[in-house]
Every structure is written in structure tokens, then in C-alpha cells.
């Protein structure tokens, strides 16, 4: 098994930059609609044009996720998804596509599983790293030590509310890329929130050389193009998950996510 897919992640982001476009990052939860179906969904988004995939580790209280992802997590948990299934999803998706695959997870499941064991097994499965939205940087040293040892990226999340000094602390500790979280169309007007995300990227870039990828509620090619104008990567999750939720069957859902990935892949090309 490959050790050190953080390099693959870096190369993938650099390749997108060299092509004068943003990378397309797709999020899908493991175990949804089933473990096998979730693996097929990852293959479908990469076939459609996603560069990087985030596999979600379903959580019973996904406080940072919206209703769509909560619904998918519920289905996965009712189906009995385990950490072993998440690791299998990473392994089979990476082997089938060659794309960098990260795990997005709350800290509690890793803490219970054992950070050293999780890092070792994720690396062994070919994973590129972890996105840890709720792990405070000041409590992350143990995880980062094991992640570094196994060649895994540790991606932290920054938000418009993060002060500049805090941004610098977070980006200094992270690796792979920085996940800039914002909400489009939820508070204020669409325009002002777009500006807020752009301002967050500007402030984050002032603290780091790491690529900055934006998770913004992007759901179509027009929004992807807008975000690609100022970010290194465009992260799309709920839009893919909603297609799978709404599909009459898995083949229809896979066709739909592949098609959306294709449209978004066109959108992130800046020209």
C-alpha cells in the first residue's frame, strides 16, 4: 500500500493550478446509500471530473452539516456503517480511481478508535489525510504526530469568524490544504456572502503557502466558476448527496452525480 498520499494530494492541487483552474473536491459520506453504493458513488464523481474526494465518516450528531448530509449519515448509521467500512471505501475508491481520498470526520470517533491506529490504517488504505472540522489546533499535536509519520495531510477548517492571529495558528499547524468554510445564501444576500468567502480566502492566503479550498454551498457550475475565480479548490458535498437521496435507484443516482461532477468540472475552469 502506498504510504504518503499527501504528496499525491499536493501534486493534484498543483496540476489544477498549472492548468489555470481550481481543483474540484467532492464530498460523499461512507456507507450511503450502502457501503458498496458509496464506493460506486465515489468512482462516479471522479469519472465525471472530480480531482479529490472527501469521504465522510458518518456521525450521529453531525453538528456542522446541513439537513441533507444529516439524512445521509442517518441512513449510513442505520445500515450499520463502521470505521472499517470507511477505510474500505477509501481503499477501493483510491485503488479504482487513483485520486487522492481524504476522510472528513469529527474527532470523537478517531479518539475512541485510537488516533495512532486510525492514522496507520488510513495510510495503509491509501488515504491522503483527514479533514477535522472540530479538532482544536491546540489539542491536535498527538494526531499530527501520527499523521506526519504516515504521510497524511491534516486539513483544518477556517471560517469568516476566525481572527487573523487565529488563522495564522491554524494554517501553521495544517497540511495538504486549508478548508475555508462559508455559507452561501443562508445569511445576508448572495453577493455579500460571496464577498465574505473571497475575503476569507484573501486573509487565509496572507498566512500560508497552502492551497485554500472553499466549501460554500456550491451546487452548480455558475457558483463553481465564481468560487474558482478566487480559490484553489471548490468543495461540493450536499449537491451530490441530494442527487443520491432523490434518485429512484442507485444507477440513476450514480448517473446524476457523474453528470453534476462533469458540469462542475467545466465550471472550475476559469477561462
- Dist CA 170 CA 207 (whole Å): 9
- Dist CA 160 CA 42 (whole Å): 29
Q: Which residues are catalytic?
A: 54, 65
Find the angle CA(235)-CA(241)-CA(244) to the nearest 5 degrees.
140
Amino acid at each position: 500500500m502506498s504510504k504518503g498520499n499527501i504528496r499525491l494530494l499536493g501534486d493534484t492541487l498543483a496540476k489544477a493550478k498549472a492548468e489555470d483552474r481550481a481543483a474540484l473536491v467532492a464530498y460523499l459520506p461512507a456507507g450511503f446509500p450502502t457501503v458498496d453504493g458509496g464506493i460506486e458513488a465515489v468512482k462516479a464523481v471522479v469519472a465525471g471530473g472530480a480531482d479529490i474526494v472527501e469521504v465522510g465518516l458518518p456521525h450521529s450528531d453531525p453538528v456542522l452539516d446541513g439537513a441533507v448530509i444529516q439524512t445521509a449519515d442517518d441512513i449510513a448509521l442505520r445500515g450499520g456503517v463502521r470505521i472499517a467500512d470507511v477505510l474500505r471505501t477509501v481503499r477501493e475508491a483510491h485503488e479504482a480511481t487513483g485520486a487522492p481520498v481524504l476522510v472528513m470526520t469529527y474527532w470523537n470517533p478517531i479518539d475512541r478508535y485510537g488516533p495512532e491506529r486510525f492514522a496507520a490504517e488510513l495510510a495503509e488504505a491509501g488515504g491522503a489525510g483527514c479533514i477535522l472540522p472540530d479538532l482544536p489546533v491546540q489539542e491536535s499535536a498527538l494526531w499530527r504526530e501520527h499523521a506526519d509519520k504516515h504521510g497524511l495531510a491534516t486539513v483544518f477548517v477556517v471560517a469568516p469568524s476566525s481572527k487573523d492571529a487565529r488563522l495564522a495558528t491554524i494554517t501553521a499547524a495544517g497540511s495538504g490544504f486549508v478548508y475555508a468554510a462559508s455559507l452561501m445564501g443562508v445569511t445576508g444576500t448572495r453577493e455579500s456572502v460571496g464577498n465574505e468567502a473571497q475575503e476569507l480566502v484573501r486573509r487565509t492566503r496572507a498566512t500560508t503557502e497552502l492551497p485554500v479550498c472553499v466549501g460554500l454551498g456550491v451546487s452548480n457550475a455558475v457558483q463553481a466558476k465564481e468560487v474558482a475565480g478566487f480559490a484553489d479548490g471548490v468543495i461540493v458535498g450536499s449537491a451530490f448527496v441530494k442527487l443520491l437521496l432523490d434518485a429512484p435507484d442507485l444507477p440513476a443516482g450514480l448517473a446524476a452525480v457523474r453528470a453534476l461532477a462533469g458540469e462542475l468540472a467545466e465550471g472550475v475552469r476559469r477561462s
